[in-house]
Amino acid sequence: IGKTSVLLFVLVNVIALLVCTCEAYQSIKERNIDDGLIININSMSGHRVINNADAHFYSAKLREAKTHIRATCISPGLVETEFAYRLFSKNPEKAAAAYKSIKCLQGVDITNVVCVVCPECSSSSCLSKCRPSLEKTILCC
């Protein structure tokens, strides 16, 4: 059996996404919405995987269901968030340096991309109240 850290990585980065996507899909269906949009905001690391024909099951499941529900990913690269500060909690200088090494995106940049992907979100009253906080925006949309 593998290391516990590998299992935790898979649980957070794979299983959690599967569960959240399935729950979002079920929520959309329960509300009789046929044109929903599931947006996964993920790391660029998700694009560095071995191409696997079995990994297409989400899009295949949506096509099979014959709905207009769509799923998409936004992979922004480095965004200045709390992530590095939590990762290097004992060394805040190292965390700050991680964000100073290149020009980072800000949470509002991701919010703007969500608005492009989902125009309905940009006109949403909850979205206008939540800007520029990315976490609140995602919860509202």
Greatest distance between any 2 Cα atoms in the chain: 51
Which residue in 25, 58, 85, 99 is the catalytic one?
58
CA atoms of 128 and 123, how far apart (whole Å)? 8
Contact 41, 17 (CB under 8 A): no
Is there a catalytic annotation at residue 58? yes
- Dihedral of CA 60/72/9/140: which sign? negative
Contact 81, 108 (CB under 8 A): no
DSSP 35-101: S-EEEEE--GGGGSS---GGGGHHHHHHHHTT---EEEEE----B-SSHHHHHTTT-HHHHHHHHHS
Catalytic residue list: 58
